[in-house]
Structure formats: structure tokens, C-alpha cells
Amino acid sequence: MFRKPRSVRGRQLLFRDATVADAEFILALRTDEKKGEFLSATVPDVQAQRDWLARYAADDAQVYFIICKLDGTPVGTVRLYDQRGDSFCWGSWIKSDGAPSGFGVESALMVYDFALQTGFTRAHFDVRKGNTSVIQFHERFGAVQVGETDEDNLYEMSNAAIKAALQQYRKYLPDGAAVAF
């Protein structure tokens, strides 16, 4: 079960819970030909996205964040879901063209720090096989490939790997993530 915080604040980014009002922003990212290339297919229907977000609001099995600059400008999304004991999955990680430099590292660190602060110790996730830059990113962070499907490489991050990444890339999130419930 996930607790949905009001916000998660980093050095230059802020996560806030996605709402029905974010449907157009999310849909624009997910249906962008380049950004959506390695995501599960999304129907280009704003009302369907609003309906999904309305159902999500009552769903404690996931947290879906809008990633913003500190001034509140939305610059991406990320979702935590599929709890398996002390492990969580994360994905739906998309950045807009207006995302600041360091977005990837800082937002990943914020995901991991938030997860540790809320009781998770490990992570699991999948990455589409053709998504080379994201595969390399996760492997640099310490993710280990543990399997594959026809479409995806399956990864895990141990507690030690998460803590090592938080330390190694600390300049991107020097004070950790400030979580407000």
C-alpha cells in the first residue's frame, strides 16, 4: 500500500500527486511519438485519461506523480506501483522538453529516497529492450538485470545499490527528498 504525499521536494524538482486536471499534460507526454516510443500504448482520449485519474485518486496500490520545477511548472511524470513485500516498481517516467538539466538523476534519486522513507527497501522495474539510454542509466545506478520478456529487460535494485546511488549522485539531491504528507 502506498501513502500519497502532498509533495516530495528535491533540489530543483517537486513531485505532486497527479489529479484529473493533469489529464491533458499527461496525455500530451504519453502520446508524443518520441517520448511515448517505449511506453505501453495510450489511447489519445482526454476523457479516458480523466476517468483513469479519477479512479487512481481512490487507488492506494500506486502513486502517480507530476514532476514539476520548484515554481510549479510541470516537466514530467513518474509512477510507483506493484508492491511486492518491501519492493516497489516504478515507471511511467517521462520528461517534457522543458525539464531542467539533471532531471533524470534528480528525479530517480527522489523516487528512491521517497521509497526508502515510506518503508520500501528494494525496487524492481522493466525497461523496453530498445530503450538503450534508459537501460544504461539504470545500470549506472546499480540496477541488475534479472530476466527478460519478449519486449522488456527486467531489473532489480537492492537496498545496498539504492543507498550507493543516493551517495554517489548526492550532488543532485544533497539534502535528500523532503516528503510532506
**What residue spans define the domains of the chain?**
7-176
Are residues 42 and 91 in contact, defined by beta-carbon separation less than 8 angstroms? no
pTM: 0.97
Query: What pLDDT was estimated at residue 66?
Result: 98
What is the mean pLDDT of the segment spanning 18-39? Answer: 93
Q: What is the pLDDT of residues 57-104, one digit of tens each?
A: 999 999 999 999 999 999 999 999 999 999 999 999 999 999 999 999
Q: Above 90 in pLDDT, residue 2?
A: yes
Read off the pLDDT band of 37 (50, 70, 90): confident
Return the CATH number of 7-176, one of 3.40.630.30, 1.10.150.120, 3.40.50.300, 3.90.470.20. 3.40.630.30
Query: What pLDDT was estimated at residue 102?
Result: 96
Average pLDDT, the chain: 96
User: 40-49, 116-125, 143-152, 155-164 — which is least confidently predicted?
Assistant: 40-49
**Residue 38 one-letter amino acid:** F
Q: What is the pLDDT of residues 132-153, one digit of tens each?
A: 999 999 999 999 999 999 999 9
**Rounded Cα–Cα distance for residues 137 and 104 (Å):** 9
